[in-house]
Chains A and B, each alone.
Chain A
Amino acid sequence: MTESTHDEVERELTEMTRPLGETPRLWRRALEQTRTSSATTLPLGQWWRQSRPWLSVAALLIFAVTIGILALDSSLSRARSTASSRLAAAPDAARRGSPADRAPSSAMAPALGRTPESRWRFDKSPSLDLGGVVERAGGMEGFYAGEVSGVVSDIGMSAGQEPAQRQVIRKASVELRTADVRSAFVKTQMLVSEAGAEYIENSAISGEGEQMQADLTLRVSAARLSEVLNALREIGTVLSQQLSGEDVTAQAVDLEARLSNERRVEQELLQLLEERQDAELKDVLELRNHIGSVREQIERLQAQQSHLSRLVSLATVLVIIRHEGKPPEKPKDEGLGAYFARVMKSAWENGVTGLADSIAWIASTLLGGLIWWTIAATALWMAWRKFATLRAAAKTEPHA
């Protein structure tokens, strides 16, 4: 490209964007356009000002609808809880009443889509699932939980497919606090109904004054467990309560089956012995021995069954009664001088103790390690002697 062409290009480029002399006042058109469009499309602030009343109405409507939904939900929740409480009363009545009375409760359960057992487990019975519940600071819910646990244990099978009684070993422990430990101890003993085969398995009282403590182990009828627990609540303030239940239904059924089997075997062996009177003496003796071992097994199973039955029929209640201790005394207000003196005394005591500890440590280190210090010092002395000898020898040798 020649120089003239280059200049021509540059000149033409400048010419291409040359300012136009007269313009059609585009800014005026733009201004009118902007104002016209402003009339139709409002700025955000103006739109907000104009729409605020309607937006307020809309917000109020949304708020009212939300409140209505919440109120409706609340009333539905109340209805559900009412239905639950009615169903809660129904199994209790069924437990105390006749089998015919139980039918309504079982019939009502499917109406809510739950069995009575599942409902209780869902609503109130963590004690059943966890095998016990601990309530602190004298809460009353623990007692109700105990009752619920008992109810569930009883109706568990009736709500299911088996009419057989569920076998549950119930245990409870209650810790009480009272001003008069001895009186509470006596009252607790009186809760046991000896006429109902209940008894006190263990009782002890120890300590004096505020250190006095009573421990009792009660064996009460399982049916009266909740009643006894309620009575204990009136004796003192409940510090803690624990309830647990062990389902031994399968164990009981297993024992019964094994017992029936052994009895059948025994009958067969006895019949065999009766029929083979003319058998050899050896065989007869062997048969008798066999019968004897079967009988022994039967009696062992019967003893286990009896023991299990006692455990089920009588709940174990461990009661600990403590004295109400005095509230801790508040430290007396002290002046600045007393505070300073106390701090200085404490600092002096700490200092003396530290010094004594340091001296004791040094003495024990020196004396306790005396043998090792001696050995180390001897080794060092010998090494030094050897080094001095070698240095003296090196000094006397002629240089090469």
Chain B
Amino acid sequence: MNSTDASDEQLLEAFARGDDNALGELALRYEPPLLGLACGLLGRDRSLACDAVQEAWVRVIRGAAKFRGESTVKTWLYRITINCCKDLFSGRTRRAQIEANETNGSQPSAVTPDPDADQRRRRIHAAVQALPLDARALILLCYHNGLSHAAAAEVLRIPIGTLKSRLHAALTELRNRLESEATP
């Protein structure tokens, strides 16, 4: 089987049978987006995000043989990653670290020559990080590239209607926060 043509499910099954390269192929597909999502969830802390994704892979490796195919491998990987991020975030020390990173002004992903734009970006990041973790996960998952709302709903195990209403509420809260920060 050519691993590049194989489906996610076939790769996971191959890995469960002992083919480590299949896991490598799976990681090639999903590790970058998973790491990006983890970074977004964990306040752009890359090392923490790496820890989360590595822990997610550990869980995938241990659970590969038990995967029953009730959901797609893709949504399964996202769900595991979000859970790992939540677990890491729940640690008080980590949380304090994240807050410290935010207040110290962790570097945004893109360096722009416009200082006002950079300031706005920092404000948006701070407002997103100030949201509750579930709301943050929902927003970031919905705006995550390559993931439809239906897939996000499957990852979060909620109906798509519920997802949309929660997304609306979370965005409203985010805008309110940004507006309240903008008005002195």
Could you list which residues of chain A lie within 8 angstroms of chain B, going by C-beta atoms?
Answer: 1, 5-6, 8-10, 12-31, 33-34
Contact = CB atoms under 8 A, between A and B. Distances in A.
Contacts of B155: none
B32 A30 contact: no
Given A18-B36, A26-B31, A1 B140 contact: no
8 contacts: A19-B32, A20-B32, A23-B27, A23-B31, A26-B50, A27-B27, A30-B61, A33-B58
Given A17-B40, A17-B144, A12 B125 contact: yes
* Range of interface residues on B (Cβ < 8 Å): 35 or more
Q: Is the interface of A mostly helix, strand, loop or mixed?
A: helix
B54 A18 contact: no
A226 B31 CA distance: 98
Contacts of B124: 8-9, 12-13
B35 A13 contact: no
B129 to A, nearest CB: 10
B60 to A, nearest CB: 8
Interface of B: 20, 23-24, 26-27, 31-33, 35-37, 39-40, 44, 50, 53-58, 60-62, 109-110, 120-121, 124-125, 128, 139-141, 143-146, 174-175, 178-179
B61 A31 contact: yes
B148 to A, nearest CB: 14
Contacts of B55: 30
A29 to B, nearest CB: 5
A33 B57 CA distance: 10
Given A19-B35, A19-B36, A34 B143 contact: no
B62 A14 contact: no
A30 B128 contact: no
Contacts of A5: 178
A23 B32 contact: yes
A10 B27 CA distance: 27
A13 B36 contact: no
A14 B145 CA distance: 7
Given A19-B36, A26-B27, A31-B23, A14 B61 contact: no
Contact of B143 (A10, A21, A25): A10
A16 B128 contact: yes
A28 B24 CA distance: 8
B178 A1 contact: yes
A24 B50 contact: yes
B178 A26 contact: no
Given A19-B145, A20-B39, A30-B61, 15 more contacts: A13-B139, A14-B144, A15-B110, A17-B140, A17-B143, A17-B144, A19-B32, A19-B35, A20-B32, A20-B35, A21-B32, A27-B27, A27-B57, A31-B57, A34-B61
A27 B40 contact: no
Contacts of B61: 30-31, 34
A41 B59 CA distance: 15
B21 to A, nearest CB: 11
Contacts of B110: 15
Nearest to B52: A26
